[in-house]
Amino acid sequence: MADYEMFDLGDVVLQSQQTIRNAKMAYKTYGTLNAAKDNAIVYPTWYSGQHYENEWLISPEMALDPGKYFIIVPNMFGNGLSSSPSNTPEPMNKARFPKVTAYDNVRQQYRLVTEKFGIESLELVTGWSMGALQTYHWGALYPDMVKRILPFQGSAKCSRHNFVFLEGVRSALMADVAFADGFYETPPTKGIRAMARVYAGWGFSQAFYRQKLDLEMGYASLEDFLVGFWEGIFLPRDANNLLAMLWTWQNGDISKNELFKGDFPKALAAIKAKAIVMPASTDLYFPPEDNAIEVSHMPNAELRTIETVWGHFAGGPGTSPADIKVLDAALRELLAS
């Protein structure tokens, strides 16, 4: 029994001039939309994540309180629930699934929010990692609708270094002959395990490993962590889906569209929302420096770096309790302002 709902988008023409026919957006909501329809929050998913993997930040004890807010978690295209390589019928399935941008995702999320729920104003958009990328898009594409944004451990554009990191991930997966150019019948597990090991060095910081926090997470050894945590994250996920979202990530840029025509500072300047931008001090692929550049162009934004050794996973799905407190407090402060 699915714990989420589906929004039928019809035929969606993408920035890539490809079409997802009978496109679907899977989503889940938490809490109740009030009569004024002014208590809504959008909280998009991260790379490979599905809505339930966002739930660690939603709780009556936390800023994202479903007793107060109506929280919509839209699943990103390619994540296996919304239209994806793994669930799209021939001929647009598997490696032929269209290229989807974060812009495309947010344009369709807007339709969900407005057409399905009749919401005209958002209290907040927030998200981790690629969820942050979508958060920035919401701010730049719908400046009069989005009151606040809190992107954490993400950026408004995939940096060149981040792109290179992802090239390593992508190449490791595709090196497996079982991948078969995406037309596999059984999963290319060797490639997925390889990409997991590539990812492992990036996801947590040097200091995290130096302090052996992997062992404190309940793993018996580094190898136990690499298999149990990292290979465990990616093995259940479909290889083409992973590559589709990776393309979305690598091509993320709030200015690559008809509104901003590649003018990145202009796109950032268009974000009217009150913003707290929260990088992690030790994030290896979203370093604070990139966010500092972004914030310098945003009219109403504060850079607030989380000092942590957890690297990118400072805002990961519930892994670092201390960092979550800092994040949650910032969300509470922003929502109260």
Contact residues for a copy of itself, defined by CB under 8 A? 159-161, 163-165, 167-168, 170-178, 190-191, 193-194, 197-202, 204-210, 212, 222, 226, 284-285, 287, 289-290
Nearer to a copy of itself, 123 or 283 (CB): 283
Residues 6+ away with beta carbon under 8 Å from 277: 150, 151, 152, 291, 294, 295, 298, 301, 302, 303, 304
Nearer to a copy of itself, 51 or 157 (CB): 157
Answer for the pair 119, 36: CB distance below 8 angstroms, yes or no: no
Nearer to a copy of itself, 134 or 162 (CB): 162
Least Å from the CB of residue 281 to a copy of itself: 13
Nearer to a copy of itself, 13 or 164 (CB): 164
Distance CA 84, CA 20 (A): 9
Which stretch of DSSP H or E encloses residue 137? helix 130-141
Least Å from the CB of residue 325 to a copy of itself: 25
Least Å from the CB of residue 327 to a copy of itself: 22
Residues 6+ away with beta carbon under 8 Å from 222: 209, 214
Residue in the structure block whose two tokens are 């479903």:
66
Supply the residues annotated as catalytic: 129, 283, 312
Residue type, 304: R
Least Å from the CB of residue 172 to a copy of itself: 4
Distance CA 129, CA 279 (A): 10
